[in-house]
Amino acid sequence: MGRFRPPPGHGRPACLAVIGGTLLAVARDRRAAGPRPQWSLLVWNLAGGKGGPAPVAAHAFDPGFVPTALTHPPTFVDKVLVGGADGSTQLWNFVAGAMLHASTVGADAAAAAGPGGGRAAPAAARPALRTMCPAPALDIVALGFANGVVALVDVRADVVLTVLRDAAGTGAAAAAAAGPAGAVGAAAGPPLGGAVTALSFCTAPGAAPLLAVGGAAGCLALWDLETARLAGVLPHAHAPGSPVTTAHWFAGEARLLTGGGDNALRQWALAAGGGGGGAGGSGTPAMAASLASASAPLTLLRSRTGHAAPPALVRFYGADGTRLLSAGSADRSLRLVSAIQDAQSRELSQGPGLGAQARRLRVEVADLKLPRVVALDACPVRFLLFVCLFFFFFFLRGWDG
């Protein structure tokens, strides 16, 4: 495809968005003088991108405006909606390089609905906008804010339609909704706190209008938009303290893909009675009934995980050189990594039941993990054998594979 570089004097691109044959990003202009930062909207033509050309355009935002999110409302041709750290949104024509409209209605509603909010929200009280997602309904965009509020806004009419307070799925009420097993259940009330970091609308045929909201604490909440009530929550969709960075419902299906700061990708399905729904998982009667009720548990279909932090020890295992042992990471895990088939990669540290054990003992998973590995070796004699030395603890531990 080619490598796309920012123009000279600009920092690392962020907030990427692909609209047709156009790649958009934002980057800070380091050449600008003055106390307030200067950012630019960068535009690349994907069709002519071979060889890594410079952007075809770089449109400057107003000084002091710090972009934090990009999205494209489908009914707006050649337009992109840009969210800022001050909570405001700007509608840009990226072909003409002109800002068409700026709005703070979503930020004002989020400030009023957030902790300590009131009827009048001064500019200083507006929360930062963290993520945006266009809805299946025309001209509607969901805005997720740092104070845990989600606002559904009609960007054409510039009005707020719905506000969801404490939407990110953390707090005591969300824990009660999840139940002792951590499954999705009916909510008794709104959860408390947590920044919104990911949004996605369910578009499965015949489904209830569901909005998936990922939070900075690793929780995943499902909201029924017909009633504006919390339908269920997974408090440990990703590792505690690791934000849900991405959420995406597959178009026309009952499958949800999430990515987190714990370096994990997970695929979920809504299935009646917690059933598997199958790897395909789309359009089955049981799943349609599950979505219609919006109260069935999310079933984990598959996941791919890696180290949540860079490993310090990496060793080849086996004569063919297709497998690696990696450890020494701050996540205190030992992993076997296949270089040819990722399905064979797995964590070896303490087995897959550590999360269930932590929930049973009502402690964090980190409290049960082994210390960080500082040395390891392997011997391929009949069975796979790993011997590891742990940081601060003078003992060895072995794995017989």
pLDDT digits 0-9 by tens, 335-358 = 888 888 877 888 877 666 677 777
Last residue within a domain, chosen from 305, 329, 364: 305
Domain of residue 278, residue span? 173-189+199-305
Same domain, 366 and 280: no
Same domain, 301 and 317: no
pTM, two decimal places: 0.79
Distance CA 197, CA 129 (A): 9
Distance CA 79, CA 94 (A): 6
Same domain, 286 and 360: no
Last residue within a domain, chosen from 261, 288, 305: 305
Mean pLDDT of 304-320: 83
Same domain, 331 and 379: yes
Mean pLDDT of 277-291: 38
Q: Determine the residue type at 203.
A: T
pLDDT in tens, 37-57: 899 999 988 876 555 566 788
Same domain, 266 and 182: yes
Instruction: Check the CA dihedral 262-217-165-99 and report its sign.
Output: negative
Residue 344: predicted pLDDT: 80
- Who wins on pLDDT, 139 or 321? 139
Residue 331 has pLDDT above 60, yes or no: yes
First to last CA, the chain: 41
The count of structural domains within the chain is 2
> Does residue 108 fall inside a structural domain?
no
Confidence of residue 388 (pLDDT cuts 50, 70, 90): low
Same domain, 177 and 279: yes
> Does residue 123 fall inside a structural domain?
no
Residue 190: predicted pLDDT: 38
> Does residue 203 fall inside a structural domain?
yes
Same domain, 210 and 301: yes
Quickly count: other Cβ atoms within 10 Å of residue 91's Cβ: 19
> Does residue 274 fall inside a structural domain?
yes
Same domain, 221 and 339: no
Provide DSSP, 29-94.
Answer: BTT--SSS--EEEEEEEGGG-TT-PPPSEEEEPPTT--EEEEE--TTSTTEEEEEETTS-EEEEET
CB 86 within 8 A of CB 128: yes
> Does residue 345 fall inside a structural domain?
yes
CB 86 within 8 A of CB 65: yes
CB 386 within 8 A of CB 327: no
Same domain, 265 and 374: no
> Does residue 28 fall inside a structural domain?
no
Same domain, 183 and 281: yes
User: Measuring CA to CA, how many Å separate 279 from each of 62, 253, 399?
Assistant: 48, 12, 31
Mean pLDDT of 144-169: 93
Same domain, 178 and 297: yes
Distance from the Cα of residue 174 to its chain's centroid:
19
3-state secondary structure of 175: helix
> Does residue 395 fall inside a structural domain?
yes
> Does residue 352 fall inside a structural domain?
yes
Residue 3: predicted pLDDT: 74
Last residue within a domain, chosen from 255, 288, 305: 305
Same domain, 328 and 235: no
